[in-house]
Structure 1
């Protein structure tokens, strides 16, 4: 009887004071670890079994940056992030301890979804002015938004086409311009958290067949005028130079200082001269300038001689009176 009593007392003294925590788990609201930017994120830490007061811990990242600590006499506890931001996308876990040592939960990935901002619609390189037959590129892009993003293109509220961007960046849609494509265009962007619509952009079309003929003629006339100026310019300059040279040479010929002297005949004062009109050769040097050339010319004039001189010339020849030309 005594041994059994001793065993009972020992069992009562050796029994632990409570039940340690077990099966620690971390859940999120909204579920799945997906939360929209600006929305509230709740991290719920729970245990399957435990007694007494339980201390809860919440950690961010694999290295365990402590976010919050709470002591509650319950099997669950919550930690709230009032407005989730894109920087809150991370791994989280929690731990629980009631005096027997902490027990950790598994890691949970949190994804913060960023809604799309208002997209911008552009018309590629052609701009908002196009010609019939051109290929126009519509490009729609939103500056913010978590991918994937779905884009739709509209012409006068009618869907032209759609495209998706699995990663960052916009989407494009190409079409060949016809007469029906003038008007207003816009696009929409959505990533499952509401759609955003761009501003309306107007596309204007130009029909080359309607361009006035005078415009083409004007271009042609301008080209012909330029050609004529280029060809006739040198010819006109040459004609002006020739006219100037002709005028200059004419003035030189009319200059009395440059004209050769004319012979002057005088009657002999000797009445008994057998040949009163006999002439004497006289040589003179006259310089004539023509342009840049200078010439030495020899002119010879006849003057009356006395009878005795004329008789002497007939006897001995006129070579005695001739001078040498000067060049």
Structure 2
């Protein structure tokens, strides 16, 4: 066989027949390149023109780490990431080849949105021990969640104020405490993927004390008596007298007189025998003399 005829036969058999692939593109589902963490991401590689079987390839990152390869007799093919993780936020592209050489798509960026976690509400440095008139910082923070995060602060289900964290993290709201600020507080975090509420924190705001408790000890509380005919609390008092009287051989020195409440039996005695006899009994108790030898005593200072 002539050499030119062999070359012609080889040329006809070696050259692929049909239309090469063109206009390769990569699309995503959900569209827009935004996907929630934990959801499914579908990467769709398509061609506009091609014939025969087409080999499709998917790559992650600009350096081209191959994820999947499929051969299909169709103008498109799909690759799924069934449960998206935060690490799947990357750039992707695909390639298609039907024997004429691979044609690449453009890069597509995938953003993985992370819902906010349950936020935590704290009350600055003073905690829930804040006092009336204090300026406290309410801080709300969700430890997880894609920015930006929008925060709202509530007191008894009424909005106190709001703040935002464009780059993530927490946000604060300052509050000057009044007597009406006692009650239940919570905060809300939202990044467009669903709102989350913190646990409720209850604070009771006591009044501010102006006296120093160390210098102002508590005053005694007078208790009312349950005995009959006993004097009221305003009548119970202590009388202190310093008596130094010499009468003959009798000396009356320091005398303490404290009015006592009468027990029921004593009260009945008063009713029966009269107040004069009872007075005489008490007089004898508190004026009992003590005899001493006063022969050598100087009376000038005692009279």
Unaligned runs of 5+ in 1: 1-9, 220-327
Residue 116 of structure 1 is matched in structure 2 by: 116
TM-score by length of 1: 0.61
Residue 207 of structure 1 is matched in structure 2 by: 207
Distance 1:167 1:181 in 2: 31
C-alpha deviations, 1:57-88, integer Å up to 9, x for none?
Answer: 00001110000000000000000000000010
C-alpha deviations, 1:84-114, integer Å up to 9, x for none?
Answer: 0001011100000000000000001011111
Name the count of aligned residue pairs.
208
Residue 190 of structure 1 is matched in structure 2 by: 190
Give every structure 1 segment of 4 or more consecutive aligned residues whose post-TM-superposition deviation is greater than 4 Å: 13-16, 211-216
Residue 132 of structure 2 is matched in structure 1 by: 132
Residue 99 of structure 2 is matched in structure 1 by: 99
Distance 2:21 2:46 in 1: 10
The alpha carbon displacement at 1:215 in A equals 6.1
Going by fraction, where is helix more abundant, 1 or 2? 1
**Structural RMSD (CA):** 2.2
The alpha carbon displacement at 1:19 in A equals 0.1
Distance 1:178 1:155 in 2: 13
- Describe how 1:124-273 pairs up with structure 2 within 5 A: 124-209=124-209, 216-218=215-217
The structure with the larger Rg is 1
TM-score by length of 2: 0.65
C-alpha deviations, 1:260-289, integer Å up to 9, x for none?
Answer: xxxxxxxxxxxxxxxxxxxxxxxxxxxxxx
- Describe how 1:39-54 pairs up with structure 2 within 5 A: 39-54=39-54
The alpha carbon displacement at 1:218 in A equals 2.5
Distance 1:217 1:36 in 2: 63
Unaligned runs of 5+ in 2: 1-8, 219-303
